[in-house]
Structure 1
Amino acid sequence: MPSVRGGLLGPARVRTPRSVPPGLEERAAIRLPRSASTNAELREKSRERILAAALEVFAEKGYEAASISDVTERAGVSRGLVTYYFPGKTRLAAELLDRWLDGIAGIIELPGTADERLAGIIDGALMAAASTLPIQRLAISLMMQPGTHPVFAEVEAAKSARLSQVEDAIRSIFAARGAPDPTVEEMLLRATLEGITVKMAIYPSTFPLEAIRHRLYAGYALPTPTTPLPIHSPPPDRLRAH
């Protein structure tokens, strides 16, 4: 659960037919009279295509090395369309971070007892760490690099009220479990899950996520999970990047 202040967008590569210049379809769509709902749907599809392309490009090249031209080419749209929706590379990153933080917030919206909710948070964070590596890596990068940390701080500030609800929800779980200091417990859980996410981003093929999951359950005196998470998880050995 990288930073409290996470499936997002799958790879989306849309190729414009060779006989149609890039951006022509979008310009035609703007010229033709359409209903408000149809126009809204087209705008949303264009935004999603651009965001999916941006996530791919940022993951492959890194945020600093990537350019709007790279995103434009990957999305198969005109540069003008990209800058219309996202006037600058930082706005693309901010939108991706915004959705990532929404994903974190969604993890705690679980029913059940305090133990069931805690187990759900652990599983949700581990699943996010394993299944959304591109956005996890982007978020970690933006948080830690001096040149991009302000982008992360801006998005985090905009989400402050929602993220405070997340913190309070986790603290209420620990309070219900009888923890003497729910605030410290919430911070410790968050730091633990953040560390796991970083390790997964670096060592996705060798990190023993299922074994770590069992250890977390035991550490919080939760019932041993009977069903493994539907993700690749090698047995514990040595962490090596590939």
Structure 2
Amino acid sequence: MPRSVTANQELREKSRERILSSALEVFAEKGYEAASISDVTERAGVSRGLVTYYFTSKERLAAELLDRWLDGIAAILDLPGTADERLAGIIDGALMAAATTLPVQRLAISLMMQPATHPVFAQVEADKTVRLSQVEDAIRAIFAERGAADPAVEEMLLRATLEGVTVKMTIYPGTFPVESIRRRLHRGYNLPDPATPLPISSPPVTRLRAE
């Protein structure tokens, strides 16, 4: 019996997701430049033709992964509560995302910074400009509610801080004291101390060393 349209669609979506998951694994292990489409097809267990059907190039695979990464950032638009509660949610959400999705974070940072792949990131960012502007405006509105003199500067400083923390976490995942940094950020913004720690590994404050 022929498969239904719905069943075919589900199979296609599963294949596409398997390819993306495999691409992320390969890029994380080998680095974007060293990885090849053949590596991705082998990891995914699919034909090269199927990969190129969904993604015409390695750049398109990277662009899709970056697109999803940016969508994850945009999730802050759905945070409820007071300005202080939303700010605390942004801090905690960014730290959780960094700690639980390190391969994606490493890939995003790599593609943003390398001259050969920065245009890929720039194009994805341009395609998401409306959504990203909404994120920026949402953060600026939080700081405006809190009485900041320059909400735009505060938004940029917060994002730079959290992105810097993410970079350090990708380099030093085994020695970065996430919880201590989290509580310091809360105090720096005059937020109440978190009632419970984040459900992620967090070593004590010592020194940042690669493992």
Which is higher, the Rg of structure 1 or of structure 2? 1
2:1 is equivalent to residue 64 of structure 1 = no
Secondary structure, in 3 states, of the residue corresponding to 2:93?
A: helix
Separation of aligned partners in 2, 1:125 and 1:109? 14
CA drift of 1:34 comes to 2.1
Match of 2:84 in 1: 115
Match of 1:54 in 2: 23
2:150 is equivalent to residue 164 of structure 1 = no
Match of 2:184 in 1: 215
Q: Percent identity?
A: 82
CA drift of 1:218 comes to 0.3
Letter paired with 2:79: L
Which residue of the other structure, out of 106, 131, 134, is the alignment partner of 2:100? 131
2:52 is equivalent to residue 83 of structure 1 = yes
Number of equivalent positions:
211
2:6 is equivalent to residue 37 of structure 1 = yes
Letter paired with 2:7: T
2:151 is equivalent to residue 178 of structure 1 = no
Separation of aligned partners in 1, 2:58 and 2:101? 21
Match of 2:75 in 1: 106
2:101 is equivalent to residue 147 of structure 1 = no
Secondary structure, in 3 states, of the residue corresponding to 2:78?
A: coil
Letter paired with 2:71: D
Separation of aligned partners in 2, 1:60 and 1:107? 30
CA drift of 1:54 comes to 0.2
Letter paired with 1:235: P
CA drift of 1:33 comes to 3.1
Match of 1:25 in 2: none
Separation of aligned partners in 1, 2:100 and 2:88? 18
Separation of aligned partners in 1, 2:78 and 2:158? 17
Bigger relative contact order, structure 1 or 2, given CA contacts below 8 A and separation 6+?
1
Separation of aligned partners in 2, 1:112 and 1:208? 27
Separation of aligned partners in 2, 1:109 and 1:62? 33
Q: Over the residues paired in the alignment, what is the CA RMSD in angstroms?
A: 0.8
CA drift of 1:226 comes to 1.2
User: Any stretches of 5+ residues in structure 2 without a counterpart?
Assistant: none
Structure with the higher helix share, 1 or 2? 2
Letter paired with 2:157: L
CA deviation vs aligned residue, 1:185-230 (integer Å, no higher than 9, x gap): 0000000000000000000000001000000000000000110000
The 5 Å alignment of 1:89-100 reads: 89-100=58-69
Question: Bigger shift: 103-112 or 159-168?
Answer: 103-112
User: Any stretches of 5+ residues in structure 1 without a counterpart?
Assistant: 1-31
Separation of aligned partners in 2, 1:107 and 1:199? 22
Which residue of the other structure, out of 217, 231, 235, is the alignment partner of 2:200? 231
Does the CA contact (< 8 Å) of 1:97 and 1:152 recur in 2? yes
CA drift of 1:108 comes to 3.6
Separation of aligned partners in 1, 2:77 and 2:166? 17
Normalised to the residue count of structure 2, the TM-score between the two structures is: 0.99
